[in-house]
Amino acid sequence: MAEQLLMPKATAVWLVDNTSLSFEQIGEFCTMHPLEVKAIADGESAQGIKGLDPTLTGQLTREEIKRGETDPKHRLKLAPPKVRVPEAKQKGPRYTPVSKRQDRPNAILWLVRNHPELKDAQVSRLVGTTKNTIQQIRDRSHWNSANLQPMDPVTLGLCSQIDLDIEIEKASRGIVRPEEVAEEERLLSAAQTQNYRSRDRQDDEEELDAAAVFAKLSSMKRNPAEDEDEDRY
């Protein structure tokens, strides 16, 4: 459940019809003015709205309603959500309002100048632009390059400081996607590792064989003193 009251006016209609809560209590809980709640009670407002029971949606308990009916000074509180829905991860470029789109080239110029370690995909996520536009600003081929002024995207409201810090930290740590890793930097496959091990084993065997041959030749050499003795006889 969301931590915000669902359908506040419909909830106010139900509370007016089914409880003895004061207009102030209902108004504060439903984020409405007490006079709006009084107009609902008088039938002057929300005539076509069907009441919504907040106890069925899990946003208010029966005990909380009774506590408010007993104590007029009690302020109703939303029941804690039973299920936490994770926030959806953003996919693709960030949406930029129309009023701020003209500032994107200036923000891109600021990012490529002050944080050259950022990749095009990161810049695109921060300010909601395309890689083609980023490349044009990098190589000064953008149609308005002469008039661009580097401006902080956080100041322009195109992204938050937290998002910018996260992207900079990722870039500084060298976190890249698998497709961006160079072939020589990737981990070797199992077949390649076994191949290298077999090569090392073969080299060791060749070294051992060479050592055995040299040892045998050394043993076959005759002592010069023995050769002199044979010549005498």
Environment class of 57 (CB within 10 Å of its CB; exposed 0-12, middle 13-18, buried 19+): middle
pLDDT-derived band at 46, boundaries 50, 70, 90: confident
Helix count and strand count (H, E) for the chain: 11, 0
Domain ranges, ordered by start, for the chain = 8-70, 98-177
Is the pTM here over 0.95, yes or no?
Answer: no
pLDDT in tens, 191-206: 554 554 555 555 555 5
* Per-residue model confidence as pLDDT tens digits over 201-225: 555 555 555 556 556 666 665 555 5
Q: What one-character-per-residue DSSP string does 74-101 give?
A: PPP-PPPPSS-PPPPPP-SSPP--GGGG
* Model confidence at 1: pLDDT above 80: no
For position 180, what pLDDT does the model report? 45
pLDDT band, very low/low/confident/very high, at 30 (cuts 50, 70, 90): very high
Cβ-based neighbours of 173, under 8 Å, separated by 6 or more: none
Mean pLDDT over residues 134-147, rounded?
A: 90
182 confidence band (pLDDT: 50, 70, 90): very low
> Is the pLDDT higher at 172 or at 111?
111
